[in-house]
């Protein structure tokens, strides 16, 4: 049986000692490191082979949801078990949706912790028994019509928060002063009814529709007729092109709800959350492979109609895309009003 390399992350030495004592008695388990804050965690992951990360989500210098997303994106083979004293529903659901493989309450027995690690390493998910009833019975997310109305600037802030950006990076991205960012965030938190960045992150994960633009808003005009609602994902690393395609979609179908992603991680996260009916994915997403993105999206949302788009109408790209199960491969210059209208009509059918 192969050796299981485990990293412990908790800011309390005594808690780490308890975790270590519970796990070292199991065969083939080896504790390869211990850390007490977010910076140490990211640093040790870059230089240590780890199979299982067991961590508290409330360490210093740590934004748990964005950190889990980053770790899963950079080290997809690592299994993550959250061990926490917090049982707030939004906290638990937010971390599981971000990519954590399990959530274990600290007040549960050590035998349960051992079982949790074994289940996760076998490819299953784990949730402490005390949390299951609450999660099973939780209400579904509030419909779009009942969620707060946000300005485009506020949605930009939410998107940057969901990517783990701090105030300095938000200021750089939006060309604002840090003080202005702080003022914007205070107003945003008030609208959402939250009082911290973590709660805002959890709110986003429960209400991903807040990151979307409506077709009507894209065209900045009143719809001439009632259209059937369509959920659409646009994954392209060019923000201007995403907005251009969004405006075209809005012109054709004002009831569309358009989500934007600039890389594979964002596209897959949104795919899991909203299960889009239609997706436009560029064949090249920065340095990433849009065709691999399409494969992943097909796995998590099999009913999505996927269109690969490209500024490089290469035959090999087309062949790979079609073998990945996409519905069409189109040259970007051919995406005019009529072709997009036909794609939308096909998706609605």
Among 1, 2, 90, 4, CA closest to 54:
4
The pLDDT, as a whole number, for residue 5 is 96
Same domain assignment for residues 244 and 331: yes
The pair of structure tokens assigned to 201 is 């992150």
pLDDT range class, residue 164, cuts 50, 70, 90: confident
The pair of structure tokens assigned to 203 is 């709110």
Residue 217 pLDDT > 60: no
Same domain assignment for residues 218 and 204: no
Mean pLDDT across the chain, nearest whole number?
82
- Per the CB < 8 A criterion, the answer to whether 309 and 330 are in contact is yes
Residue ranges of the alpha helices (H) in 163-263? Answer: 167-174, 178-192, 197-206, 215-219, 239-252
pLDDT digits (tens, 9 = 90+) for 79-107: 999 998 777 666 777 788 888 999 998 87
- Per the CB < 8 A criterion, the answer to whether 328 and 302 are in contact is no
Q: Containing domain of residue 245, as a range?
A: 212-348
pLDDT digits (tens, 9 = 90+) for 120-134: 998 888 888 767 766
Residue 77 pLDDT > 80: yes
**Residue 180 belongs to a domain with what CATH number?**
1.10.10.10
3-state secondary structure of 26: coil
Using a 10 angstrom Cβ sphere, with 0-12 exposed, 13-18 middle and 19 or more buried, the burial of residue 286 is exposed
- Per the CB < 8 A criterion, the answer to whether 20 and 8 are in contact is yes
Residue 140 pLDDT > 90: no
Tally of domains in the chain: 3
- Residue where one domain finishes, among candidates 158, 175, 208: 208
- Residue where one domain finishes, among candidates 98, 120, 136: 136
pLDDT range class, residue 218, cuts 50, 70, 90: low
Same domain assignment for residues 229 and 175: no
Torsional sign, CA 306, 262, 321, 299: negative
Among 256, 205, 252, 264, CA closest to 230:
256
Distance CA 6, CA 20 (A): 9
pLDDT range class, residue 155, cuts 50, 70, 90: confident
Same domain assignment for residues 191 and 219: no
Residue 247 pLDDT > 50: yes
pLDDT digits (tens, 9 = 90+) for 10-37: 988 888 888 999 898 898 999 999 999 8
CA distances from 312 to 228, 261, 319 (A): 32, 20, 13
**What percent of the chain has pLDDT above 70?**
87
The pLDDT, as a whole number, for residue 224 is 44
Residue 253 pLDDT > 50: yes
pTM above 0.75, yes or no: no
Least confident of 58-62, 135-139, 269-273, 331-335: 135-139
The pLDDT, as a whole number, for residue 55 is 93
Distance CA 152, CA 217 (A): 10
- Residue where one domain finishes, among candidates 208, 241, 256: 208
The position carrying tokens 């998706």 is 347
**Residue 74 belongs to a domain with what CATH number?**
3.40.50.2300
């Amino acid at each position: 049986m192969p050796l299981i390399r485990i990293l412990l992350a908790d800011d309390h030495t005594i808690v780490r000692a308890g975790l270590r004592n519970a796990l070292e008695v199991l065969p083939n388990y080896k504790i390869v490191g211990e850390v007490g804050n977010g910076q140490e965690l990211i640093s040790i992951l870059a230089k240590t082979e780890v199979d299982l990360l067991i961590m508290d989500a409330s360490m210093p210098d740590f934004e748990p949801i964005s950190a889990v997303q980053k770790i899963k994106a950079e080290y997809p083979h690592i299994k993550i078990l959250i061990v926490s004293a917090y049982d707030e529903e939004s906290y638990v659901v937010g971390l599981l949706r971000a990519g954590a493989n399990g959530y274990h309450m600290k007040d549960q027995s050590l035998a349960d912790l051992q079982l949790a690690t074994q289940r996760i390493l076998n490819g299953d998910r784990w949730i402490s028994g005390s949390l299951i009833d609450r999660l099973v019975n939780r209400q579904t997310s509030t419909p779009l019509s009942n969620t707060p109305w946000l300005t485009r600037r506020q949605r930009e802030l939410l998107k940057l928060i969901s990517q783990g950006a701090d105030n300095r990076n938000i200021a750089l991205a939006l060309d604002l002063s840090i003080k202005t960012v702080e003022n914007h965030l205070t107003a945003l938190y008030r609208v959402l009814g939250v009082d911290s960045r973590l709660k805002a992150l959890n709110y986003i994960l429960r209400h991903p529709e807040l990151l979307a633009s409506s077709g009507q808003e894209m065209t900045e005009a009143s719809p001439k007729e009632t259209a059937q609602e369509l959920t659409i994902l646009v994954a392209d690393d060019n923000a201007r092109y995403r907005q251009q395609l969004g405006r075209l979609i809005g012109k054709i179908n004002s009831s569309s709800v358009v989500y934007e992603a600039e890389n594979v991680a964002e596209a897959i996260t949104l795919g899991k959350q909203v299960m889009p009916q239609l997706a436009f994915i560029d064949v090249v997403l920065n340095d990433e492979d849009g065709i691999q993105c399409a494969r992943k999206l097909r796995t998590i949302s099999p009913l999505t109609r996927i269109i690969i788009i490209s500024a490089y109408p290469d035959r090999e790209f087309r062949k790979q895309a079609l073998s990945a199960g996409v519905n069409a491969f189109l040259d970007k210059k051919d995406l005019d009003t009529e072709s997009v209208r036909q794609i939308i009509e096909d998706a609605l059918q």
